[in-house]
């Protein structure tokens, strides 16, 4: 973890967890994390193994320019990353293993911002591991955040966390780089051009 908000939510989750694998949803008091709430979301796992947004903070919805409640968690990713994102989120919820994702966030104007997503397991009313609480934190938010909706995430790395270790030493679970993740920062920024009111991203075959 690198973002201070991630450390704050992780510390709160750890306190509420106690000696359990995960805290209950009812243990989470919104007033306790009021400064983080705009960036926080809760997802639940349905019978088909798909994560869906149960709640989504105002900042997260504004970032995408739409209400996220009821939508699929994996739908926030670009097409080539949806399957991996869905599996990662489902694994956090069902196996009670926290994770941190490093993300590239692509806007509809072809711009890119870097972010960190923390995923933490929680239990529902049944006591089963079928939910997670998460948070998205943008690093050094650029001026266009909130004006150009994010059209998709690309996961550049994943780190699974050992919840029994102090957060300062969470590097004991090394970050797993994803070699096939597109490099938006150098690609889309250089290869975009304006055509009328649209931004065209050059790509595809050259032969």
Question: What gap in Å lies between CA 120 and CA 137, rounded to an integer?
Answer: 14
Task: Give the residue carrying structure tokens 């490093």.
Answer: 102
State the CB neighbour count (10 A cutoff) for residue 95: 13
pLDDT the model gives residue 181? 53
85-142 pLDDT, tens digit each: 999 999 999 999 999 999 999 999 999 999 999 999 999 888 899 999 999 999 998 8
Each residue of 3-19: b (16+ CB within 10 Å) or e?
bebbebbbebbbebbee
∠ Cα 201 84 70 (to 5°): 85
Q: Is residue 207 part of a domain?
A: no
Question: Coil, strand or helix: which one is 136?
Answer: strand
pLDDT band, residue 158 (cuts 50/70/90): very high
Chain centroid, CA 176 distance in Å:
16
Residue-range definition of the domain harbouring residue 68: 4-201
Contacts made by residues 158-162, CB under 8 angstroms, sequence distance 24+ = 158/88, 158/99, 158/100, 158/101, 158/102, 159/1, 159/99, 159/100, 159/102, 160/97, 160/98, 160/99, 161/1, 161/10, 161/97, 161/98, 161/99, 161/100
Question: What gap in Å lies between CA 168 and CA 133, rounded to an integer?
Answer: 21
CA distances for 38 relative to 80, 99, 125, 132, angstroms: 28, 20, 24, 16
- Report the CATH number at residue 39: 3.30.450.20
Q: Is residue 206 part of a domain?
A: no
72 pLDDT more than 90: yes
| DSSP at 110 | S
Q: Is residue 18 part of a domain?
A: yes
Q: Is residue 189 part of a domain?
A: yes
**Number of folded domains in the chain?**
1
Q: Is residue 188 part of a domain?
A: yes
Q: Is residue 143 part of a domain?
A: yes
pLDDT the model gives residue 178? 60
57-70 pLDDT, tens digit each: 999 999 999 999 99
């Amino acid at each position: 973890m690198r973002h201070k908000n991630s450390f704050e939510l992780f510390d709160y989750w750890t306190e509420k967890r106690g000696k359990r694998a995960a805290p209950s949803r009812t243990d989470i008091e919104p007033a306790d994390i009021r400064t983080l709430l705009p960036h926080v979301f809760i997802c639940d796992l349905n019978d088909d193994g798909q994560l869906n947004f149960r709640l989504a903070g105002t900042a997260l919805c504004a970032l995408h320019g739409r209400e996220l409640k009821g939508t699929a968690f994996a739908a926030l990713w670009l097409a080539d990353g949806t399957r991996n994102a869905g599996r990662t989120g489902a694994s956090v919820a069902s196996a009670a293993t926290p994770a941190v994702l490093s993300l590239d966030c692509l806007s509809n104007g072809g711009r890119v911002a870097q972010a960190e997503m923390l995923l933490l397991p929680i239990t529902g009313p049944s006591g089963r591991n079928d939910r997670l609480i998460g948070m998205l934190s943008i690093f050094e938010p650029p001026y266009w955040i909130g004006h150009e909706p994010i059209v998709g995430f690309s996961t550049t790395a994943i780190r699974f966390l050992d919840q029994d270790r102090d957060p300062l030493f969470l590097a004991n679970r090394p970050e797993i780089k994803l070699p096939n993740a597109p490099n938006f920062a150098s690609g889309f920024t250089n290869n975009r051009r304006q055509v009328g009111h649209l931004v065209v991203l050059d790509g595809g075959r050259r032969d």
